[in-house]
Structure 1
Amino acid sequence: MGDVVSSHLDEDRREMITVRTRQWMKEFGQVYEQQYAVALFNSVRFEIEGGGGTQSQLLHRKDPLAGRTIFSGSLFQYLEENRKWRNRFVFVPNDYTINLYESKAAHDRGLHPKVTINCAGYKALTSMEEYMELINKSLPGVKAKVGSNPFIKCETGFPLILWHPYARHHYFCVMTEKEQKKWHAVLQDCVRDSNNGLPENCTVKTPAFTDAVRLHRQARGQYGTWDMMCGTPPQILANLVMESLHPDIRNMIVPRLKGKMQQRQKNWMLISDAVYKQVLFQTTGQYEALVEACEAQRGPLDARLRTDMDQLITSKEHVSSKLRALVLPKAEQILRTNIQPYINSILEALMDPTSRGFAEVRDVFFREMVEISKNSLNGGGKEKMGENMERLSMLAFHPVKMQSCYEKVEELNLEGLQQRFDVSSPSVFISRAQILMREQMDNAVYTFEQLLNQSLEAQGDSDMCKITQRCQDRVLKKYDYDSSSVRKKFFREALLQIIIPYMLQQLAPSCSPELPRFKELIFEDFSRFLLIENMFEEVVLQSVSKDIMMAVKEAAVQRRHNLYRDSIILTNSDPNLHLLGENPQVDWATKFGGDEPEGPVSSADEGRVFGRRRKQVVSMIQPDGVPLPYESCLEVPGVELIPEEDAEMFLSKEEDQLENEEDQLGKEEDLGPKSPDSVNEIRDLINPVVEVVVPVSKVEQSEITNKTEATTGSITVEDGVKEDVTHVTTVVETVPKGSLQEKTSPQAILQQLAASKKQEVDKDEAAIQNAIEKLEIAVQEDESEQITEISAAESDNESSPPLVTDSSSREDSGFQSPTSEGPVTNGLNGEEKIVDPIEVEVVLS
């Protein structure tokens, strides 16, 4: 592996990659410095003038995942070094990085993970077909044939693959489909959170960075949306560099790769990962230096802005009016002919799946509330209430429970509009909508927690169900309002993201040459804060904002989208509510006495928060009915050594083994205790049973019925003791006609007794005496064959209920029935003969 990378990425090519990356970062740095000053101007102006906007009705939690971990579990990972599958313990902390350990014990001891994966830019896949399709797209000149086998074989049939256009791919597999779905939800949540790497609370650095990236791409003619705006700023910059560098490296190296098609694909992925790591390392260091230099100038710039803010605003308005005179006529023409006919269709495509997703969030929250109310009505107690509230507090970050909400938005489709407006894919809008849905769910949960805690402290917990219901109703009303406000804002922003780049691209040929002359209208002292390029974009945005606002306003009238009208504004509907947002998060386990195990874990960074063990959002994933199988790092044979066996066969074998063990336990229970003091043995001592097998003729057999009847008599058992007979139970067993043969000896008769079925017999005293006489004759003729099985013991003279005959339950008697060993085949003439048997139980007293 190392030889492949080193042979194709020699010192000259690595130096070329370094030079290209440095040049890109230099160009980006110049744009970033300009946009940093503009973003600082907008931030200070907003701070001075204040901003409008709707007031949120729900409370917002500042750090919802403090003291939490997301998930831990085990799965199999494919190691490319030795082409083998190994079991790994997976730990996902609250920063959504994936840490792979050799075993759970290694994690508990605080060892460093074998692999740490930052999922920004990745896609979580569940099929090899989808993965191979992406592989073929990444290598246009090296395509797999239809039906060809991939270079990695998933033996379980339930793969999980993390794919990245530039970085290393990661391959996992699980044993069941249910596991696969849960793991896929967890991986998607890791990707979703890692992609959202730009902090929104940074009102200067984040806007400066996003505007710099957009302008940098527009300078190269790339105006459309970009689906690799994923992760932290250094990762986004690495993607930006790789966007142009990657094709050049591929054209240089891929034609020189040797080997089979699968081997060339594998080698190219290793080379691409090495290039991406080199670029990412370089962008990380240079971006940190760039931000540090800009932050060092922030103090003096901020002071100048606050001093000259009025003059800056006046100068900006003057230049903007001149720009509007140039831009608006051209923009309105493009708007009428190329945009207005499509606004409603774009908005409809956005609104339907997004509204269904937010409605599903409401339904999931409501169902959780119903479960809590049921617990209160059914007398679950405070401890159970504490457990339910602990689970509810992390509902928004539970990837499995939230998956149904996310799936609704994934139905968003802009087919037919992507090419017209240069939208690379709807993934940008899907990810943003899913992040907003998670935020609204957490806001609703947090608000409910605070309201419930306030009500319980004021009114007590005597009527928990009623208090819960009232808090639920208040939260749902607030959620409906906030959901409407958030969705309308999302629709406006999405429309702007789609339309503005298209309009800028259409206006650039005619307007860009005219822009430099407007720079003369700006004072030199203000030129750092007022850039013509930004003012030009603001004029274009203003030209289309009115149409977008009207379209969203008209959509709010339609009830099927469940949007509030703009005229409905809830202000100070609950003035005391926002005071609760300053309260610390409620610890429900402590409040309701549900003490959960606490204590330090071995890793101080991952497992210890305020002296407590971190609480996990998602429980361990494992197949139903199967114990935890992954306690150590078990080695799985390589692909070429793994037999073709489905995972279900493995599970079915374990289930069959469990069933056999249960059946065996059931039989042992039926046999009763085997100790000398067991009840069955005591009963046998009181009422001993003697089993006698007697042959009958066809004529006699037809006159006999199954019956138990009381009788008087005596019998001499094997030890010579004479016992009284109180009850006689007879059972007739027959065999098919085809098996009936000659009846020349008692031994042959006994052979047929062993394979026959039960029939009814007559239980009279004469038949019993006749059977005993025939039995004694058979013993005398051939002493080598045992024909009777007798279980005898002391008994009283009282009658006992009839006992069911079962040869397997008489092993303690010291006698063995021929029926338990199979047919007897010792005939007098050496022939095998079977006859109709009669099995007789004699109860002694």
Structure 2
Amino acid sequence: MQLSICSVLCSCKIIITFLCCGPSLNLTFLYLCSNLARTSTVMAEFGRFYEQQYAVALFNSVRYEIEGGGNTQTQLLHRKDPLKNKSIFSGSLFQYLEESKKWRSRFLYVGDSYNISLYESKAAHDRGLHSKGVINCAGYRALTSMEEYLGLLNNNTKAKSASAPFLKCPTQFPLILWHPYARHHYFCVMTEKEQKKWHAVFQDCVRHSNNGESRSSICTVFRLTLHLFLCKCICFILANLVMETLHPELKNLIVPRLKGKLQQRQRDWMLISDAVYRQVLSQTKTQHEALAQVCEVERPRLDSALRTDMDQIITSKEHVSAKIRALVLPCIEQLVRSKVQPYIHSILEALMEPTSRGFSEVRDILFSELVEVSKNTMNDSSREKLGEHMDKISMLAFHPVKMQSCYEKMEALNLEGLQQRCDVSSPSVFIQRAQILMRQQMDNAVHTFEQLVHQSLDGHSAEDLCKTIQRCQDRVLKKYDHDSSTVRKKFFREALLQIIIPYMLKQLSPSCSPDLPKFKELIFEDFSRFILVENIFEEAVLQSVSKDIMMAVKEAAVQRRHNLYRDSMVLTNSDLNLHLLGEDTIDWAGQFGGVKGEKQGGEMANRKRKQIVSMIHLDGIPLPYESCQEIPGVDCIPEEYEGQAGQDLESKKPVNPVQHVPIEKEPGSPDGVNEIRDLINPKTYYTL
């Protein structure tokens, strides 16, 4: 599916506006068209890889279904749809608009999809009007400093480090969504408290959209993990892969031809890059959807063939695997002994330290929140109050602000030195994956606590409620300790494999790959779609290094430095009735506290979802900023309004940040007889 000249001109109109006229313009567009066609080249290569691995993945899935697996049984329950009828956050802040080059008030709504929807006002959102735009945060970074943003911008455009940005934030509290290729989004708020809350929300949106995946997953030929078929940001990864080579060449060609001051050239280049990126992303989405649809159509036939000939396929694969292992094992073992084993423990230690501190912080927050529920129940043991407290704690795992301290522990991960040796582009993939696991474990623990408490309510008096909650708390913490240990050990093993396997394949491919094609003759043609010699070679590499990785993780568990259970310490599930409990979220407010505002139904009820993060209210400031006014100057934005003893009455009046005038008190009813008489017979004063 090649790009046509018309489609390029349509999506990249901005280039016509900013590039100089003349022969260079035609040269630029011819160069642009030829380079955008690389998207089709990359997608064609990916398509062949996808179709091959689709059949292998289906074979592994059916084999696992038939033979079963030995996964460790978890102690905590899992919730099916935790964010049903919930939204993450919404509120008003100021956004810089490229079209008018002005700051305007905007209402932002973050739903359960973690996409950021922008509305002109809260009223527009409540009426169900279309949003002004939607931001998918995949690939973005959330910044809170103009200096940090300026550094990234200068690196991207090769500008002088001392140059000023092309926009000036009118407050001290900016929020910027930065992307290496797509359009940047600029916001600002009026207090540090707002900034921290919005920054936590934006980071959660980025984390959820990336889903713990990275661009490096594509660049390796390690097919066993099947990241490409499972991660939901595959189209963004493919688009970024195209832009990695396309972006620098376009920049070298276009940026020197841009006119105007440095700030204007920076703005123009960002708009051009965004137009190209959107075109590439649109094409990758279209072709990936078509590719997935073709494979799904083929699936029933493949599934039938697999179930009919499964035994023969397994036998054939084992025969070929034995031949390949006999050939490549000496080279693999030599590489493992000399260049892998000496570094496994240091890599593992670098991963374990921040990860264990993050999971420990999750446990501390869980414990403090459960203790708070217990204390509140002691003061008031009514079912209504219990429902109110349980309703607040139910969404703890999805509260970006409360979970921020856990996520920050993982930010300390440092793989410096390893990145050059093993070609690890960035530790961010491991950071975000661990943070997502922290959120999952927190939600599993909270959900299990909810189910235990809900089950214990039947047949218990109010006097026993406190003791019941305490017992549920102790049981949940024990289960969390077991599951968090299991999850961390699995995360360490997968992270080590993701770091080491690509490095080993890169080292072994020159000597081993030329001999692999001859083994294809040993595979029956009917089975050739399900058995690939490249995959068997990678499985041999995986199995050879897995023993050392497992041993390193076991030794770490024996040391007990990071609160890891030894594999021999298998906790039996003493709660035989626990897994018979419900998997859905309990509506505590509806069952025990009553639901307010239930009269709105259907679409209106969907827009009135319960918000997980509480709104920010500033005393004296008319929030939210419903009118789309220009933002006030820096000097007129107060951070907080705190009454002080020495102020006069006029200085105590809150100031309207838009009109820059004190907000007058609304007229009220008179409080005394004399005031009523003054209203009936007003006194007139004459000045001589």
Distance 1:619 1:673 in 2: 36
2:90 equivalent among 69, 72, 91: 72
Give the conservation status (yes or no) of the 8 Å contact 1:157–1:646. Answer: no
Give the conservation status (yes or no) of the 8 Å contact 1:238–1:280. Answer: yes
Counterpart of 1:398, as a letter, is: H
Counterpart of 2:219, as a letter, is: R
Q: Give 2:439's aligned residue.
A: 438
Structure with higher RCO (Cα < 8 A, 6+ apart): 2
Counterpart of 1:631, as a letter, is: E
- Shift of the 646–510 alpha-carbon distance from structure 1 to 2, 3 Å rule, reads farther
Whose strand proportion is higher, 1 or 2?
1
SS where residue 635 of structure 2 aligns?
coil
Within-5 A mapping of 1:422-821: 422-582=423-583, 584-600=584-600, 604=603, 607-609=604-606, 613-623=608-618, 626-636=621-631, 642=633, 645=635, 647-648=637-638, 675-676=673-674
Distance 2:466 2:649 in 1: 43
Distance 1:143 1:295 in 2: 48
Q: Give 1:83's aligned residue.
A: 101
1:24 equivalent among 31, 35, 42: 42
SS where residue 154 of structure 1 aligns?
coil
Superposition deviation, residue 266 in structure 1: 1.3
Distance 1:436 1:74 in 2: 31
Of 457-466 and 623-632, deviating more is: 623-632
Q: For residues 488-534 of structure 1, what are the alpha-carbon distances to aligned partners after superposition, in whole Å with 9 as ceiling and x for unaligned?
A: 00000000011111111111111111111111121111111111111
Counterpart of 1:590, as a letter, is: G
Match status 1:160 vs 2:160: no
Distance 2:212 2:350 in 1: 27
Q: Give 1:94's aligned residue.
A: 112
- Shift of the 613–650 alpha-carbon distance from structure 1 to 2, 3 Å rule, reads closer
Match status 1:184 vs 2:199: yes
Q: For residues 368-413 of structure 1, what are the alpha-carbon distances to aligned partners after superposition, in whole Å with 9 as ceiling and x for unaligned?
A: 1111111111126433322211111110000001101111111111
TM-score of the superposed pair, with normalisation by structure 2: 0.88
Give the conservation status (yes or no) of the 8 Å contact 1:60–1:581. Answer: no
Q: Give 1:143's aligned residue.
A: 159
Superposition deviation, residue 241 in structure 1: 1.6
2:75 equivalent among 49, 57, 62: 57
Give the conservation status (yes or no) of the 8 Å contact 2:381–2:462. Answer: no
Give the conservation status (yes or no) of the 8 Å contact 2:81–2:585. Answer: no
Give the conservation status (yes or no) of the 8 Å contact 2:79–2:444. Answer: yes
Q: For residues 742-772 of structure 1, what are the alpha-carbon distances to aligned partners after superposition, in whole Å with 9 as ceiling and x for unaligned?
A: xxxxxxxxxxxxxxxxxxxxxxxxxxxxxxx
Counterpart of 1:125, as a letter, is: L
Q: Give 1:756's aligned residue.
A: none
SS where residue 458 of structure 2 aligns?
helix
Q: Give 1:411's aligned residue.
A: 412
Q: Give 1:835's aligned residue.
A: none
Distance 2:13 2:96 in 1: 18
Q: Give 2:56's aligned residue.
A: 38
Structure 1 gaps of 5+ residues are: 199-209, 664-671, 679-811, 815-845
Give the conservation status (yes or no) of the 8 Å contact 1:386–1:594. Answer: no
Q: Which has the larger radius of gyration?
A: 1
Give the conservation status (yes or no) of the 8 Å contact 1:484–1:562. Answer: yes
Distance 1:46 1:325 in 2: 26
Superposition deviation, residue 572 in structure 1: 3.2
Counterpart of 1:48, as a letter, is: I
Give the conservation status (yes or no) of the 8 Å contact 1:5–1:270. Answer: no
Give the conservation status (yes or no) of the 8 Å contact 2:620–2:641. Answer: no
Give the conservation status (yes or no) of the 8 Å contact 1:85–1:635. Answer: yes
Q: For residues 211-262 of structure 1, what are the alpha-carbon distances to aligned partners after superposition, in whole Å with 9 as ceiling and x for unaligned?
A: xx9796347x99xxx99x9852222221222122222222221221222222
Q: Give 2:378's aligned residue.
A: 377
SS where residue 118 of structure 2 aligns?
strand
TM-score of the superposed pair, with normalisation by structure 1: 0.72
RMSD: 3.0
- Shift of the 432–407 alpha-carbon distance from structure 1 to 2, 3 Å rule, reads same
Give the conservation status (yes or no) of the 8 Å contact 2:14–2:271. Answer: no
Match status 1:120 vs 2:115: no
Distance 2:86 2:218 in 1: 39
Counterpart of 1:16, as a letter, is: S
Superposition deviation, residue 548 in structure 1: 0.2
- Shift of the 403–625 alpha-carbon distance from structure 1 to 2, 3 Å rule, reads farther
Superposition deviation, residue 631 in structure 1: 2.4
Superposition deviation, residue 126 in structure 1: 0.6
SS where residue 459 of structure 1 aligns?
coil
Give the conservation status (yes or no) of the 8 Å contact 1:88–1:102. Answer: yes
Whose helix proportion is higher, 1 or 2?
2
Q: Give 2:360's aligned residue.
A: 359
- Shift of the 382–627 alpha-carbon distance from structure 1 to 2, 3 Å rule, reads farther
Q: Quote the sequence identity (%).
A: 67
Within-5 A mapping of 1:827-838: none
SS where residue 172 of structure 1 aligns?
strand
Superposition deviation, residue 646 in structure 1: 7.0
Counterpart of 2:54, as a letter, is: Y
Structure 2 gaps of 5+ residues are: 1-11, 20-24, 655-669, 677-682
SS where residue 42 of structure 1 aligns?
helix
